[in-house]
Amino acid sequence: MNNNDLEPSKQRVYPELALNIITRQDHNVSREQISENALKVLYRLHGAGFEAYLVGGGVRDLLLGGKPKDFDVATNATPEQIRQLFRNCRLIGRRFRLAHIMFGRDIIEVATFRGHHQENNKQLASQSEAGMLLRDNVYGTIDEDAERRDFTINAMYYNIADYSIHDYAGGREDMEDKLVRLIGDPETRYREDPVRMLRAIRFAVKLDFDIEEETAAPIEHLAPLLRDIPAARLYEESLKMLQSGYGLETYHLMREYDLFQQLFPTIAQYFSEEYDSQTELMLDLALDSTDQRIEEGKRINPAFMFAAMLWYPMMEQAKELMHSHNFNDYDAVMEASNRILDEVVKRIAIPRRHTATIREIWQLQLRLPRRTGKRAFRLMELNKFRAGFDFLEMRGEVEGGETKQLADWWETFQTAGRNMRQAMVTDLDGTTATGKPSSRRRRSPRKKKSKTSS
């Protein structure tokens, strides 16, 4: 019987890796590139007699000549021992017990080397029948920790003791070949943690690497496993995927492997073979706009992205409500908004503060056509006006016609002087919000009663 014939929880996942020690003179990583706070943590652990390594994406990005976003540390010290060394430490997590060393807003994450476990001990480690790790607090050696890491390019350790790099899985070679490769049997590793499928996509896009053939092969088949991931975790992962500066390309690769469809089934039902539905056109526009804002150093708001992604699916539901329940357009949109957000939040736990903003942006789409009298001036004073207008512009690009004309009107109105604004509003008198002649009948003036003499 071979390894693949075993139950997922019994399979041999962790291979014996060949350690390659890259000495200081043979790599380009300098302490000057490592954050001061990360060095403080590394040196204090080392000074207390513990092993201390910079690990994972930080080492990978430094070797690639980039600037790491985070610096993570691995050690043989237990979380409790770490807490004794650092007064600015807090322990977090039940699934993975971690130490966070706080330096103001800068947080250095410290993990104890993970070991292997074959039998379930619910206090330390547990695994579902499908092979997913539910809790994982078995500690071990650095060799075991390397075997437990997900990708070869993340299994490199920078040793603060002699500034060498310990490469356990051929990560440096895969970096040179521009490959994202899982350590161990891909199907079993994905079953352990289905989020690894998302990570494979994210690293491939971010680093401009290819996903190694065997690593890529099971993804589409195992994509439905993402349904078992907690909604709060999927929300965080969705932001990493779509709001890290490579959202558009990431979305297209996710879709190719049937991953986006698992996270957003409400959106996926409106996909077309030609990639040209209004939902798909808006997705491309919203994600491209987000990528551009990140590149320009501008602020981004997840609520705006989700409002754009969900607008046309929501409007389809609103149309159905108008047809089946005879709702007016406003009531239909309000009810459809509630329904679709409730549906999405079950899969992606979008925080309430963002769902409130999404509703505001959507409601503004109903108010922006109403510009007569003082309405246009009052709308511009609203807190979410700019977000509502930016979204209207994107709708104009997708829909054209009257929506584009309305967006152009608002663009001119915002940059016009007071007199011109008043003239623009005056010109709207006698027309509907879309510029068509009003069909509403004017009320006849009430006749005055004639006075009668007493």
- Tell me which residues are annotated as active site: 70, 72, 150
Burial 38-55, CB ≥16 within 10 A → b, else e: bbebbeebbeeebbbbbb
Residue whose structure tokens are 């879309």: 434
CB 175 within 8 A of CB 60: yes
Q: Could you say which DSSP state residue 325 is in?
A: H
C-alpha span between 217 and 187 (Å, rounded): 9
Tokens coding 4? 């693949």
Q: How many beta carbons lie within 10 A of that of residue 59, not counting itself?
A: 28
76: left (phi over 0), alpha (psi -120 to 50) or beta: alpha
32 residue type, one letter = E
Longest dimension (CA), the chain: 116
Q: What whole-number distance in Å separates Cα of residue 108 and Cα of residue 56?
A: 13
What is the 8-class DSSP label of residue 25? G
H runs (alpha helix) in 70-194: 79-85, 142-148, 171-176, 186-192
Is-contact 258 223, C-beta < 8 A?
A: yes
Could you give the CA distance from residue 243 to residue 254 in angstroms, rounded to a whole number? 14
Residue 375's nearest CA partner among 410, 416, 415, 335 is 410
Side-chain half-sphere of 216: how many Cα atoms within 13 Å?
15
CB 344 within 8 A of CB 264: yes
Quickly count: other Cβ atoms within 10 Å of residue 24's Cβ. Answer: 12
